[in-house]
């Protein structure tokens, strides 16, 4: 995929990974439509990026938000859709409210499916197009304390692979990305403390953005960041019982940090 002629719709552009991606895409010569809910953050980024960027404010959990973004994307003449917007919710399932679980599924899975579906007829008519779905290592290595998030990201992995197979004879390239932890505001202080306690590595948004841009340029289908995470994801596929036992040994640590998170949110145990 040539990025110097690309026109990209980037959701979650106001977030940590989104801002790094927007900068690197523009450096490669792409025009970027920055999408998110936080108008002030999007405007500030657009000011830094200049003529190469435009802004569309929309809430992806709302049907009218998806419709507005679909319309703006076609007016912008996008040929690359990057489904990057996401929310996380660390905590034990029985301590989470149903609206929280629904929001995680809606934002991370249903919204990217809906936006992609709305843009597909338009993208299919173009000579070159791409759909990039930003998933997570938890989509292949589902984790205790992240039940809703892991379920959504596993769903996004399934969506990406089935869509790629459905579009096999089209000119639309589908890239699924599974980063491990990234240093952004998505992770609460309790999640950062958990990652430190478990020895989980965290990448900078710039490192992840750089790998995504390269994978898009080279037309890779899958990008999974981190060697240990890739090995554990593979092991989870062939021998999930081993991962069950390994994670059971870490459950007390996860529960301890989930308790901290619940206290910070005033949730009763
Ligand atoms: N950080 C990590 O450890 C990590 C690891 C693996 C994968 N990822 C994935 O990487 C992607 C980017 O995350 P990040 O780390 O950059 O998180 P972030 O800094 O919290 O940014 C999240 C972005 O999603 C947008 N967003 C959330 N809900 C939305 C909604 N209802 N409608 C429209 N936009 C919405 C936010 O926009 P507004 O603020 O403008 O509403 C923000 O731009 C996500 O898909 C995440 O799951 C992150």
CATH of the domain at 226: 3.40.50.720
Domain count, the chain: 1
Residue 268 has pLDDT above 80, yes or no: no
Ligand 1 site, residue 136, Cβ cutoff 6 A: yes
Structural tokens at position 208: 């992840």
Ligand 1 site, residue 186, Cβ cutoff 6 A: yes
Ligand 1 site, residue 86, Cβ cutoff 6 A: yes
As a whole number of angstroms, the distance between CA 263 and CA 257 comes to 10
Protein residue with its CA nearest to atom 41 in ligand 1:
37
Protein residue with its CA nearest to atom 8 in ligand 1:
136
pLDDT, tens only, 109-156: 999 999 999 999 999 999 999 999 999 999 999 999 999 999 999 999
Between the CA of 106 and the centroid of ligand 1 the distance, in Å, is 13
Q: How far apart are the first and last CA of the chain?
A: 50
Residue 101 lies in a domain: yes
Kind plus residue range of the DSSP H or E element containing 71: helix 63-76
Between the CA of 40 and the centroid of ligand 1 the distance, in Å, is 16
Q: Measure Cα distances from 256 to 91, 92, 93, 185, 245 in Å.
A: 10, 10, 14, 21, 18
Residue 21 lies in a domain: yes
Structural tokens at position 159: 């969506």
Ligand 1 site, residue 230, Cβ cutoff 6 A: no
Range(s) of the domain holding residue 236? 7-264
143, 146, 149, 232: which is the annotated catalytic residue?
149
Between the CA of 87 and the centroid of ligand 1 the distance, in Å, is 5
Residue 1 lies in a domain: no
Ligand 1 site, residue 83, Cβ cutoff 6 A: no
Among residues 16, 141, 89, 86, the alpha carbon closest in space to that of 261 is found at 89
Residue 269 lies in a domain: no
Contact 60, 10 (CB under 8 A): no
pLDDT, tens only, 21-66: 999 999 999 999 999 999 999 999 999 999 999 999 999 999 999 9
Residue 267 has pLDDT above 80, yes or no: no
Between the CA of 131 and the centroid of ligand 1 the distance, in Å, is 17
Residue 73 lies in a domain: yes
Residue 266 has pLDDT above 90, yes or no: no
Residue 56 lies in a domain: yes
pLDDT, tens only, 213-255: 999 999 999 999 999 999 999 999 999 999 999 999 999 999 9
Residue 2 lies in a domain: no
Verify whether residue 122 is a known catalytic residue: no
Of 58, 186, 211, 229, which is best to mutate to test ligand 1, by the most ligand atoms within 8 angstroms of its C-beta? 186
pLDDT of residue 11: 98
Ligand 1 site, residue 81, Cβ cutoff 6 A: no
Residue 76 lies in a domain: yes
């Amino acid at each position: 995929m040539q990025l110097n002629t690309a026109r990209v719709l980037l959701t979650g552009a106001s977030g940590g990974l989104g801002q790094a991606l927007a900068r690197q895409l523009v450096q490669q010569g792409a025009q970027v439509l920055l999408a998110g809910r936080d108008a002030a953050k999007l405007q500030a980024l657009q000011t830094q990026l200049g003529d190469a960027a435009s802004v569309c404010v929309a809430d992806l959990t709302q049907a009218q938000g998806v419709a507005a973004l679909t319309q703006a994307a076609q007016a912008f003449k996008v040929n690359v859709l990057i489904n990057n917007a996401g929310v996380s919710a660390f905590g034990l399932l029985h301590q989470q409210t149903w609206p929280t679980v629904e929001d995680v599924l809606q934002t991370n899975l249903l919204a990217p499916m809906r936006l992609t579906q709305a843009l597909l007829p338009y993208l299919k008519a173009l000579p070159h197009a791409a759909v990039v779905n930003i998933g997570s290592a938890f989509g292949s290595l589902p984790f205790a304390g992240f039940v809703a998030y892991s379920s959504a990201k596993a769903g996004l992995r399934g969506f990406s692979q089935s869509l790629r197979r459905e579009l096999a004879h089209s000119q639309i390239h589908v890239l699924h990305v599974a980063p491990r932890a990234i240093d952004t505001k998505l992770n609460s202080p309790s999640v950062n403390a958990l990652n430190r306690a478990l020895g989980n590595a965290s990448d900078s948004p710039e490192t992840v953005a750089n790998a995504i841009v390269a994978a898009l340029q080279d037309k890779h289908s899958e990008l999974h960041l981190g060697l240990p995470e890739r090995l554990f994801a593979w092991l989870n596929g062939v021998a999930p019982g081993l991962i069950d036992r390994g994670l059971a040994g870490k459950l007390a640590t996860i529960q301890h940090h989930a308790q901290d998170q619940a206290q910070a949110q005033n949730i009763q145990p």
